[in-house]
Structure 1
């Protein structure tokens, strides 16, 4: 049974199949049709909903999510807000009123999702007022596509929401809603649900389930797994949800670095990255959309083992390690040993990723990450380069060059690294590195780029690195538009 609150009212939905999405639950089981399906892959944002979960202070914190690829069973113990739940009778919520006044809607199909993204922004502003910068607006609306209106009136609506009366839904008047959701969440955590969709709460329970159900699929954010049912029409009828496993949600700091639990979302990682890995943090602005980052996990991106995943090349450049766990015990290995071949990893039959270790960067370590894709926002990489190095006595040390999109797996460029290690960052040195790079990879051709394009692009990224280092030895200097690289 899925037990949750919908627009302030408690809902109990029994007999819901494991692979039901929030979108399907709303439209098919509950008759709430305001939320739309556009792409069924988490790209267009027409299905955006807001999921409220209790924060540390007991108040509900709302995050945007793609209803089309979020498992309905993950609503257990949550408060779901949809476009039907925003108005107060005939009085519109500021997000709705601003969209009407600014003519931000034409055909209207994408409008519910855009309004829900603006609702989460409005809630953030209510909780923590801050200037609405262009970057912040892009972050909030980057996962919503509109084919009719153009984005200027939508942007105008976002900027003018606070000019309208702070009309809030009737459910927001309920002083007990947050505590009721918290109590429901605690009650669900105290009971281990069974059946086709099970959500363990601790590591011991997860290990036991993996022993009992070795064929069950693991799900966390579902931002990739759910495409198997929406795009390939495959049945996902035996699922173990790791999103609530306490140990997998921990970020453990040590003197050497951080162990990041496999179920930690990218949104939770942003403050850590901003402080210690600013280039990684900048990449997140081009890493899918806010809806995806709110649900997607670092562990899931690694376990997926896609050759064009955005985070593995950065993790490889940083010398990350991975902790694997299961009924037979725990083991640790370098991330470079985890990826074996296309979509093949070192995970055993009963194993799962417990955590990823990120070494603490030294004061002299430099990191640059450059992503090349057809679109700036919400697109998959054609080539991604992640470069870490130190300059010591005028020569490069600890050189790590990792690429995505250049092989069947995310991979470091061993030959190019050797050409740079211990050498001054001169034109001749980098020419040798680019020559070695041609032997490091034999990329494939696909819809995102030909093999020749990828080889040239990767070589050019090395040249970009040289030019950046050579510009008065100031590593923050840029040689391309900031909008497309940092």
Structure 2
């Protein structure tokens, strides 16, 4: 299909000739003249550009999700339904989210209000507000400054989970997923969304220099901030096999295109260390689009998923036309922002094995802000203690400490065979200085990172004394909780 086809506020839109790196935000304001959607940061931080998109969740059901339109490239909307703030008012009547926001006095200058209302709209149609922290997590991607957060939070609490009968609830029930398959060209740029693996291999054979994209929460920044125009983009979003998220042999198979929202929901009961890291991975708008494969293939030394997956002993499953290739996830990262992927190869799955008996596991993220921030240091730890109380295995993985996510091998060796007690941990800590020589940058100094790395291991020992894989508690200040 060489034309973009999607629904905007329930109206079918077909476009051709537009650059495939046109963001939805630019399209809405400049072409569709729907200027209720505002531009603030153009990098997914402020939430002013939030819209709602009807997407499939991890269980195959339709879900209304708040998304930053500044990070959505138009071809990513193929076959989908998009709603802007203009869609809230129906037949002259304001939507309940608008009414409650007004009653709570949650708007002052009004610039951020459309994005706030659209984030509240997702809350209105969610059915999983079973813990109070989810309310904060829903709205943390909307950085309203002028009224303060209290009235906005109060309004959100009133509408969360209402699921009213409106145009959105009808769309959730009546809409059938449409094909996302696309072969689109405009000028010298091309965008492909193959629907089968065979079609993907054909595209990659013909376009070996193509770049992959799914959620776009990282690549789109090159477009909005560096004005890049990648000539060939290939989306993996239409390949259903890559959305696998299921138990397997006592462990878990996680597809590369699984969104972080869906992974967080799954991990809540299935894998507490993953849920713990994902709590503060990013805002709801980011997690609704960001994917497991995107975070790992970015190969950033401060990517939050890598340390916890490495600690859990995960494997990367790579696919190409030639077949399947597997390697330990720590070997997937070969240098700064470089992976072991070969030409014509994709990261298809991450497989987490069953955890050994006696395993204590946890994940940590340290950043300047609690929410919507980049790690200074991240860590994933697993220690297996045998029946005699000695360390049988230690996997200590860190991010932010080297050019790539890596294990603290010398520190692990210092722990194995020793009693699992505070004195053994303290004796092993100096080996972290042998394992890593972190850099100084604007997120933290060498001294700071080295100290934090040690303190996280101390915290891990204390926090897992009572429970081997503790979940975060309500109203905590960080991912570290030592009482």
Given the alignment of the two structures, is residue 374 of structure 1 paired with residue 368 of structure 2, yes or no? yes
Cα 1:310–1:54 change in 2 (3 A) is closer
Aligned-residue CA RMSD (Å): 2.7
1:420 is aligned to 2:410? no
1:55 Cα deviation from its structure 2 partner: 7.1
The question of 1:144 aligning with 2:139 is answered no
Distance 1:95 1:410 in 2: 42
| Cross-structure match for 1:16 | 18
* Structure-to-structure mapping, 1:121-200, within 5 angstroms: 121-124=123-126, 128=127, 130=129, 133-161=131-159, 168=166, 171=167, 179=174, 181-182=175-176, 185-186=178-179, 189=181, 192-195=182-185, 196-200=190-194
Question: For 1:80, which of 79, 82, 87 is the aligned residue?
Answer: 82
| Count of residues in correspondence between the two structures | 473
SS of corresponding position for 1:322: strand
The match for 1:429 is 424
Aligned partners of 2:60, 2:460: CA distance in 1, in Å?
47
Alpha-carbon offset, residue 468 of structure 1: 3.1
| CA separation of 1:82 and 1:450: change in aligned 2, threshold 3 A | same
Work out the CA distance in 2 between the residues paired with 1:297 and 1:415. Answer: 32
CA distance in 1, matches of 2:128, 2:429: 48
Change (3 A) 1:419 1:478: farther
Matched residues in 1 for 2:335 and 2:136: separation? 36
Deviations 1:426-476 (A, max 9, x none): 33321221111110001001110001100011011112223335x568775
The answer to whether the 8 A contact 1:54-1:182 is kept is no
Task: Give CA-to-partner distance per residue, 1:341-365, whole Å, 9 cap, x none.
Answer: 1111111122221111111223422
1:400, distance to aligned residue in structure 2 (A): 0.5
Q: Distance in 2 between matches of 1:325 and 1:372?
A: 34
Match of 2:404 in 1: 409
The reply to whether residue 322 of structure 1 matches residue 316 of structure 2 is yes
Q: CA–CA distance in 2 between the matches of 1:459 and 1:412?
A: 14
SS in 2 for 1:95: helix
Q: Distance in 2 between matches of 1:478 and 1:347?
A: 34
Quote the Cα distance in structure 2 between the aligned partners of 1:182 and 1:477: 36
Corresponding residue number in structure 2 for 1:234: 228
1:61 aligns with 2:59: no
* TM-score normalised to structure 2 length: 0.91
- Identify which of 399, 416, 425 aligns with 2:394: 399
C-alpha distance in 2, partners of 1:59/1:334?
Answer: 33
TM-score of the pair, normalised by structure 1: 0.91
Whether contact under 8 Å (1:43, 1:378) holds in the other structure is yes
Moved more, 222-231 or 4-13: 4-13
Instruction: Tell me how far 1:395 sits from its aligned partner.
Output: 1.0
- Residue segments in structure 2 that go unaligned for 5+ positions in a row: none
- 1:103 partner SS: coil
